[in-house]
Amino acid sequence: MIWQDKIFEAVADDDELTEELRQLSDGCPVEEEASGNEDNACRVLLVSKDKTSQKWAPRWLSSCGIDCELETDPNAALQRLDELSPELAVVDAGMVLADGDRLYSALGKSAAELPVYVICGSDREISACLAAGIVNVVRKPLDWQLFCHQIQRTITATEDHVSLQHVRQSLDQALGLAAKLSVKLREAETFEPATGLPNRSKFLDLLARGRNAAERDDTSLVVCAIGFARFRLIIDALGQQAADIVKLEVGKRLTQCLHDFGPLQRDLEGLRTSAAGITGSEQFGLALTCYGTSKEVLKLHRHVSDVLAAPMQVNSNVINLLPCIGISVYPQDGGQAEALLQKAESAMREAHSMGGGFSYYSAEMDAEAANRLRLEHKLREAINVGELQVAYQPINNVSDDRVVAVEALLRWPQADGSFISPEEFIPVAEESGLIKPLGLFVLDSACRQLSEWHAAGFSWMRACVNVSKWQLTDSEFADFIAKTLEKHGIAPGNLDLELSERGVLSGSHDVLSMLFRLKAIGVTLSIDDFGTGDSAISYLKDLPVDTLKIDKSYVFDMASGGKSHAIASAMIALGQRLGLTVIAEGVETREHLELLRSLDCEQYQGYLKSPAVAPDAIVEMLCQPRLSDAI
């Protein structure tokens, strides 16, 4: 029958359930055990020493189609119970076992389903039976005809009871199985069997919930429609079984992406914030919440592309998929789940027509992402041909205006004499992984420069180098620092690593252990842009830092008085209290410097003294009379 096939199909991947179902369908009552079979005739056990009973019972019972097994010894009767398996027992009230127990009591205990009739000869015996819970009591002299009918009815009633119990058990079993089946059938309705991912309708449901969560939390929802270029060709070459392996692996990778962007959240209101699904025969969907800036959306899609494009082992082949990703974003591109997915799909077709890559539904985002990718490409080339340079900005003592250190800052000069700002290319370098080779280049350049200044007699000079959090998660970073210091003959104490408050204080265990490894080498650590992160400042007592660099925004506002002045002075006092060196950034005017002096700030950096310049200009400053001398 079709419905049975459907049920078996739904549970096909569940061996246990299939077996249970088979057993249940095999165990359906079948009317094959027809009556008339000798072995199936009813049997009554009569235990009696009474000659009249012994004579009449077999006759009357057999006239009702019931066999009668006679026993005169109560102990033997009890022992033969299993062998005889009677439907009913008739015993004399006076039958007593070897241990003194009444036979009727023992029979009742040993076979709970066995009805026992007791033939009593006196009121005393009747009372004893009733007290023992025996209700089938008959009194001598017996009307055997009547008694045999009674026995027959009791046997039928007991059989009915037993089969009723059996039916009830089967029913319970069937109901349990039905419940399991309905779960399986529901799953078959909402999940795609090859990947276990939500199917299109389920994905749309999750998308709608993600949209609701985004609306409530005032965030964005990035919807990706994902296909693969040349997928058909690959499948034709490798076969359908390989296609299933590929789909399964893609499903796993997408699920991994959900985890990479934070734990799967199913919040109190039951709103899912991220989801992956299979939205067509060779098409997947992904929905991720984020804050919706083009930078962040690009980061998400770049990560998804990288994860999907990584080589994939399929049987004995390694294949490289080329993802085609179409992206729409809630709320910009619409509010309905269906519309968002359709827009992502139309963008995906665009990506397909370009032979791979990605496409945004919104032209604005598309242009922005394309610009960033262009910049990434350009930066890669600039690194390869050595176009990037390092400039140095002096850091001076507030008290005597002596140059005590420099901050190494990257400069990317263009053919027309302009510069691309680090504010623009550092985030691109961080997202693309280029920050690692770039960071190493700056470190090496700064240490080489420092060794030249030391050799020229400016032995106190220190260099501060900005370090991105991506460098701190590279386990080889500390070794590289140690080797670079050794290579250029720099004492570790002359190198300072600046860690951005926002980047470093993610609380990651890897980052923290790297900071301690760096500290063990002997370099000093600074918290850069202090005051711009949203972390509690209690982290300061746990981190092995030496210096606080107060962000320029506080210094700019300080001169206007009010709260900024109070905050800057509190920051300086806090740093001093913790025994840290305090450097104020963005000092542009004499007024700034005077205020810092009045607050006992130790060092400063800013355009008042100099922007970042070439190394020779630093040497000139080192040789120049001090600013304080001119005041």
Peptide bond into 331 cis (omega under 30): yes
Hey, how many other C-beta atoms are within 10 angstroms of the C-beta on 244?
A: 15
Q: Please report the sign of the dihedral spanned by the C-alpha atoms of residue 487, residue 489, residue 493, residue 496.
A: negative
442 binds, among ligand C2E, Ca ion, none (CB under 5 to 8 A by kind): ligand C2E
Select from 6-14, 82-90, 287-295, 522-530 the region that touches Ca ion (CB under 5 A): 522-530
Q: What angle, rounded to 10 degrees, do the helices at 2-10 and 144-190 form? A: 60
Query: Cβ 498 to Ca ion, closest distance in Å?
Result: 4
Q: Choose among 629, 624, 625, 621: nearest CA to 605.
A: 621
Q: Is 226 helix (H, G, I), strand (E, B) or coil?
A: strand
Backbone angles phi, psi at 52, to 5 degrees: -65, -45
Nearest distance in Å: CB 555, ligand C2E: 8
Least distance in Å: CB of 412 to ligand C2E?
Answer: 10
Beta strands (DSSP E) in 26-140 are 42-47, 66-71, 88-92, 116-120, 137-139
Token pair 């990479």 is at which residue? 260
Q: From the list 58, 193, 331, 422, which residue makes contact with ligand C2E (rule: CB under 6 A)?
A: 422
Question: Could you tell me the smallest distance in angstroms from the CB atom of residue 303 to ligand C2E?
Answer: 20
Judged by CB under 5 A, the residue of 152, 294, 359, 466 near Ca ion is 466
* Minimum distance of ligand C2E from residue 439's CB (angstroms): 6
CA distance 477 to 479: 5
Nearer to ligand C2E, 361 or 392 (CB): 392
Please choose which of ligand C2E, Ca ion, none residue 244 contacts, taking the beta carbon within 5 to 8 angstroms, the exact cut-off set by kind: none
Please, what is the minimum distance in Å from the beta carbon of residue 430 to ligand C2E? 8
Q: What is the residue whose two structure tokens read 């027992």?
A: 89
Report which residue's Cβ sits closest to ligand C2E. 606
Q: What's the rounded Cα separation, in Å, for the pair 472 and 478? A: 8
Shortest Cβ 415–ligand C2E spacing (Å): 20
* Residue among 66 and 481 whose Cβ is closer to Ca ion: 481
**Per-residue x/- track, 360-399, ligand C2E (CB under 6 A):** ---------------------------------x------
612 binds, among ligand C2E, Ca ion, none (CB under 5 to 8 A by kind): ligand C2E
- The strand pairing partners of 328, in sequence order, are 223
Options 529, 592, 601, 609; binder of Ca ion; rule CB under 5 A: 529
393 binds Ca ion (CB under 5 A): no
Task: Read off the tokens for 160.
Answer: 């009915």
Per CB under 6 A, contacts with ligand C2E among 514-553 are 528-529, 552
User: Total residues contacting Ca ion (rule CB under 5 A)?
Assistant: 5
Comparing CA positions, the residue from 170, 166, 164 lying closest to residue 23 is 170
Output 248 or 567, the one with its CB closest to ligand C2E.
Answer: 567
Contact by Cβ (8 Å): 312, 318: yes
Q: Which residues of 152-189 are buried (b: 16+ CB within 10 A; e: fewer)?
A: bebbeeeeeeeeeeeeeeeeeebeebeebbeebeeebe
The residue within the footprint of ligand C2E, chosen from 105, 294, 466, 603 (CB under 6 A), is 466
Candidate residues 88, 106, 138, 409; the one interacting with ligand C2E per rule CB under 6 A: 409
| Smaller CB separation from ligand C2E, 376 or 529 | 529
Strand partners, 526: 498, 547
Backbone dihedral angles phi then psi of residue 215, each to the nearest 5 degrees: -65, -45
* Strand locations in 27-110 (E): 42-47, 66-71, 88-92
Nearest partner of 152 among 53, 51, 41, judged by Cα: 41
Name the one residue in this structure whose structure tokens are 């408050």.
501
Tell me, by CB under 6 A, how many residues bind ligand C2E. Answer: 24
Cβ proximity to ligand C2E, 308 vs 467, nearer residue: 467
Q: Which does 508 bind (CB under 5 to 8 A by kind): Ca ion, ligand C2E, none?
A: none
- Asked if residue 498 binds Ca ion (CB under 5 A), the reply is yes
Closest CB to Ca ion among 333 and 529? 529
From the list 110, 140, 302, 159, the residue with the least C-alpha distance to 224 is 302
DSSP H helices, 385-434, are 422-432
Which residues are CB-neighbours of 153 under 8 A, at least 6 positions away?
A: none
Nearer to ligand C2E, 341 or 550 (CB): 550
CA distances from 386 to 381, 382, 471, 603 (A): 8, 6, 20, 33
Which segment (98-106, 305-313, 415-423, 572-580) binds ligand C2E by CB under 6 A?
A: 415-423
Q: What phi and psi, each to the nearest 5 degrees, are found at residue 314?
A: -125, 110
Q: What tokens were used for 73?
A: 């010894």
Which one among 410, 518, 545, 596 touches ligand C2E, defined by CB under 6 A?
A: 410
Neighbour count for residue 567 (Cβ, 10 Å): 15
28-36, 42-50, 268-276, 578-586 -> range binding Ca ion (CB under 5 A): 578-586
Q: Which of residues 188-247 bind ligand C2E (CB under 6 A)?
A: none
Between 71 and 528, CB nearer to ligand C2E = 528
Stretch that binds ligand C2E, among 131-139, 169-177, 466-474, 504-512 (CB under 6 A): 466-474
Does residue number 528 form part of the binding site for Ca ion (CB under 5 A)?
A: yes
468 binds ligand C2E (CB under 6 A): yes
Task: Write out the binding residues for ligand C2E, residues 571-630 only, by CB under 6 A.
Answer: 586-588, 605-607, 611-612
Per CB under 5 A, the segment of 134-142, 338-346, 394-402, 584-592 that binds Ca ion is: 584-592
CB of 60 or CB of 604, closer to ligand C2E: 604
Give which of Ca ion, ligand C2E, none residue 503 binds (C-beta under 5 to 8 Å, depending on kind): none
Minimum distance between the CB of residue 503 and Ca ion, rounded to whole angstroms?
11
Residues in the chain: 631
Q: Which does 334 bind (CB under 5 to 8 A by kind): ligand C2E, Ca ion, none?
A: none
- From its phi and psi, is residue 291 left (phi > 0), alpha (psi between -120 and 50) or beta? alpha
Tell me if 560 sits within 8 A of 568, measured CB to CB.
Answer: no
26 binds, options ligand C2E, Ca ion, none, Cβ within 5 to 8 A by partner type: none
From Ca ion, ligand C2E, none, interface partner of 422 (C-beta below 5 to 8 A by class): ligand C2E
**Residue 404 in 3-state DSSP?**
strand
Torsion of CA 117, 119, 122, 125, to 10 degrees: -40
Residues that bind Ca ion (CB under 5 A): 466, 498, 528-529, 585
Residues that bind ligand C2E (CB under 6 A): 393, 409-410, 421-423, 426, 439, 442, 466-468, 498, 528-529, 552, 586-588, 605-607, 611-612
